[in-house]
């Protein structure tokens, strides 16, 4: 009997040890120690700290999640323009977030208010920052039309506050995206206790403003180096320690708080989000294709309650922008208030009609799926932080702001005080790399010297041919603007050559979707057009996107591999 009890005790002890080892093997690596070294992680005494409390990326304000996947990019039913620039090709995009609606006048005027407050235009040092961001309201004018009401009221009158902003060129849309990144992250850090409360309103000036990249690279130089604004805290396994016990720690990428940048969507992302084939999914296939962002082949609703109503704001025919009075086809003659029409299956509004939208891509009359079929994008110009003589990143100040004079004479700030100066990547980043070799990749496999019909591989005249204007891939006009040193007057020179064969160059960008001015053909998400990046119209607006970090979706488990 005694021997039996001893054996039972040994069996229980062995079982307890086995269970202990099993539980350790399933541990995430923070509670039971590092799977790499066995050292304790998130030890209160110090050592390696890891944010084990992070769950998922916060959904940015005004955005909805779009789960990525594969789809057929391009492919419209007709090609009356004979462009042949949207041949069908299979692409895959990663998951991302996208604005529920186009950026509105209200959103953009908030941006203008901030710029005017922080960089007063009456100050000679900053006058071009604010004026360079103002939309071109003269886009509403027409030689044979009376549109002065929109010219004077559309941007700022409260009646149009929830209408999509127009008159914004591609560069201005990109600058708005950068500003939005900083303001959203600034608000997040304030709420988390890393920035002084209300500093974004009370302490901000031209020399003391928040920039996300500056905060990450040199937090002590953010807000002009004000230590009472940029606070120090300790992150201990995701748990924030009171300020009085802080150990000189600022929020970083590993804190899980700072969101990726707001940006314009790529053409592939925009088209994928617009067509929203998720609504046609049945098991693991898509049942049929979509001509528009909604199901069906027609622009009118077939639902009983809304039968006959137009599903988008577009031009039905010559002189017909909204239908007859009292029974309007689409409820608008120019643009319309956002969310006036049903969303698509991703929950995105106005992906067809209202205004066409800028995307990131530089235009080429082809999508080079042979070179890439994952997160396709043409337009990469890789930059890096500029390092000063002191070995530290160089922060832009009032004295070294850079301005660009656009081809139409508009002056826009390239950078602003508080940001980190940027320079192109060089051999230090490109040496012996296989995936990229230059800073500017807009011409990759198209428009470079080896793509021209005059290129003679191995020829001794190769270099001289590449520099000759006649060997350019695209014969677009070359306008120029110079400033007379003696008078300071801006001299505009137009390229009047009759030999130009195209408007395509490295400074034209794709815009997608139909607008209030367009016929139904352009409502097809696969349609694509281009426009100079420094010019604006009354029918092109934009919306922002943001990449999703972490898993493709937030599903609790993956088939065949349930999460522990």
- CA 55, 60, 61, 65 dihedral sign is negative
How far apart, in whole angstroms, are the C-alpha atoms of residue 444 and residue 429? 18
Hey, what are 201's tokens?
């309103």
Phi first, then psi, for residue 214 (nearest 5°) are -65, -40
pLDDT at 235 over 90: no
Q: How high does pLDDT run on average in the chain?
A: 86
Buried b (16+ CB within 10 A) or exposed e, 113-135: ebbbebbeeeeeebebbbebbbb
pLDDT at 101 over 80: yes
Residue 295 confidence class, pLDDT cut points 50, 70, 90: confident
pLDDT at 7 over 80: no
Alpha-helical runs (H) found in 166-281: 170-191, 199-202, 212-217, 267-275
- CA 221, 225, 229, 233 dihedral sign is positive
How far apart, in whole angstroms, are the C-alpha atoms of residue 173 and residue 263? 9
pLDDT digits (tens, 9 = 90+) for 358-403: 999 999 999 999 999 999 999 999 999 999 989 999 999 988 898 8
**Residue 268 confidence (pLDDT):** 98
Most confident of 2-11, 134-143, 484-493: 134-143
Using the 8-state DSSP alphabet, how is residue 139 labeled? G
pLDDT digits (tens, 9 = 90+) for 172-229: 999 999 999 999 999 999 999 899 999 999 999 999 999 999 999 999 999 988 988 9
Region 74-101: mean pLDDT is: 89
Asked if 172 and 537 count as a contact pair (C-beta separation under 8 A), the reply is no
**What one-character-per-residue DSSP string does 484-504 give?**
-TTT--EEEE----S----S-
519-to-55, 144, 149, 339 alpha-carbon distances in Å: 45, 21, 24, 20
Selection from 343, 292, 291, 334 nearest residue 313 by Cα: 334
- How many alpha carbons lie under 13 Å from residue 526 in its C-beta half-sphere? 25
Residue 9 confidence class, pLDDT cut points 50, 70, 90: low
How far apart, in whole angstroms, are the C-alpha atoms of residue 150 and residue 148? 5
What is the Cα Rg of the chain in Å? 28
What is the CB neighbour count within 10 angstroms for residue 238?
16
Hey, what are 314's tokens?
């577009």
pLDDT digits (tens, 9 = 90+) for 441-476: 998 988 656 666 566 555 444 444 445 566 666 778
Selection from 269, 350, 393 nearest residue 518 by Cα: 350
Residue 8 confidence class, pLDDT cut points 50, 70, 90: low
**Residue 476 confidence (pLDDT):** 83
CA angle 485/488/492 to nearest 5° reads: 95
pLDDT at 135 over 70: yes
- How many alpha carbons lie under 13 Å from residue 131 in its C-beta half-sphere? 14
Residue 564 confidence class, pLDDT cut points 50, 70, 90: very low
Helix 170-191 with 105-118: angle, nearest 10 deg: 80
Selection from 63, 61, 90, 62 nearest residue 75 by Cα: 90
Most confident of 93-107, 224-238, 486-500: 93-107
**What one-character-per-residue DSSP string does 322-373 give?**
SEETTEESSS-SS---TTSS---TTS---SSSSSEEEEEEEP-SS--TTT--
Q: Judge residue 110's burial from the number of C-beta atoms within 10 Å of its C-beta, 0-12 exposed, 13-18 middle, 19 or more buried.
A: middle
Hey, what are 88's tokens?
């069908």
Residue 2 confidence class, pLDDT cut points 50, 70, 90: low
Asked if 494 and 479 count as a contact pair (C-beta separation under 8 A), the reply is yes
pLDDT digits (tens, 9 = 90+) for 247-278: 558 888 988 999 999 999 999 999 999 999 88
309-to-243, 323, 328 alpha-carbon distances in Å: 58, 11, 9
Hey, what are 360's tokens?
């990131």
Q: Judge residue 441's burial from the number of C-beta atoms within 10 Å of its C-beta, 0-12 exposed, 13-18 middle, 19 or more buried.
A: middle
Beta bridge pairs of residue 72? 90
Please, which contacts does 425-428 make with residues 24 or more away whose CB atoms are closer than 8 Å? Answer: 425/382, 425/383, 425/384
Phi first, then psi, for residue 359 (nearest 5°) are -125, 175
CA angle 546/551/553 to nearest 5° reads: 80
């Amino acid at each position: 009997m005694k021997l039996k009890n001893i054996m039972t005790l040994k069996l229980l002890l062995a079982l307890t040890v086995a269970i202990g080892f099993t539980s350790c093997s399933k541990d995430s690596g923070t509670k039971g120690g590092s799977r790499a070294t066995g050292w304790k992680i998130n030890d209160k005494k110090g050592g390696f700290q890891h944010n084990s409390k992070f769950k998922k990326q916060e959904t940015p304000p005004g955005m909805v999640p779009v789960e990525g996947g594969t789809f057929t990019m391009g492919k419209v039913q007709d090609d009356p323009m004979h462009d042949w620039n949207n041949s069908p090709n299979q692409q895959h995009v990663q998951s991302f977030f996208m604005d529920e609606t186009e950026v509105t006048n209200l959103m953009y005027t908030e941006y203008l208010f901030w710029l005017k407050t922080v960089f007063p235009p009456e100050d000679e040092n900053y006058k071009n920052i604010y004026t360079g961001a103002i939309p071109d309201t003269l886009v509403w004018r027409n030689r044979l039309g009376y549109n002065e009401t929109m010219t004077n009221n559309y941007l700022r009158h409260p009646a149009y506050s929830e209408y999509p902003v127009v008159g914004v060129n591609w560069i201005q849309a990109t600058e708005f995206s950068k500003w939005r990144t900083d303001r959203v992250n600034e608000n997040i850090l304030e709420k988390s206790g890393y920035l002084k409360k209300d500093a974004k309103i009370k302490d901000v000036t031209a020399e003391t403003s928040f920039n996300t990249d500056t905060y990450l690279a040199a937090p002590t130089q953010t807000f002009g180096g004000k230590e009472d604004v940029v606070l120090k805290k300790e992150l201990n396994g995701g748990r924030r320690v009171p300020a009085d016990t802080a150990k000189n720690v600022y929020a970083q990428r590993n804190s899980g708080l700072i969101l990726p940048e707001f940006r314009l969507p790529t053409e592939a992302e925009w088209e994928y989000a617009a067509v929203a084939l998720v609504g046609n999914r049945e098991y693991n296939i898509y049942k049929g294709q979509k001509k528009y962002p909604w199901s069906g082949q027609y622009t009118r609703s077939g639902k009983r309650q809304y039968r006959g109503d137009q599903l988008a704001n577009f031009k039905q025919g010559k002189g017909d922008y909204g239908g007859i009075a009292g029974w309007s086809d689409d409820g608008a003659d120019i643009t319309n208030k956002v969310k006036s029409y049903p969303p698509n299956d991703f929950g995105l509004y106005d992906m067809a009609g209202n205004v066409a939208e800028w995307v990131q891509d530089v235009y080429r009359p082809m999508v080079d799926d042979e070179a890439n079929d994952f997160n396709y994008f043409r337009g990469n110009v890789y930059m890096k932080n500029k390092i000063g003589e002191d070995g530290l990143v160089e922060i832009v100040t009032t004295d070294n702001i850079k301005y660009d004079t656009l081809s139409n004479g508009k002056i826009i700030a390239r950078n602003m005080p508080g940001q980190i100066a940027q320079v192109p990547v060089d051999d230090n980043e490109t040496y012996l790399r296989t995936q990229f070799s230059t800073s500017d990749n807009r011409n990759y496999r198209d428009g470079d010297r080896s793509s021209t019909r005059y290129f003679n591989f191995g020829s001794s005249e190769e270099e001289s041919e590449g520099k000759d204007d006649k060997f350019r891939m695209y014969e677009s006009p070359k306008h120029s603007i110079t400033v007379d040193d003696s008078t300071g007057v801006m001299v505009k020179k137009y390229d009047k050559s009759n030999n130009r064969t195209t408007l395509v160059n490295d400074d034209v960008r794709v815009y997608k979707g139909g607008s209030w001015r367009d016929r139904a053909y352009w409502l097809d998400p696969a349609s694509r057009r281009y426009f100079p990046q420094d010019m604006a119209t009354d029918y092109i607006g934009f919306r922002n996107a943001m990449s999703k970090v972490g898993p493709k979706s937030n599903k609790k488990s993956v088939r065949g591999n349930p999460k522990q």
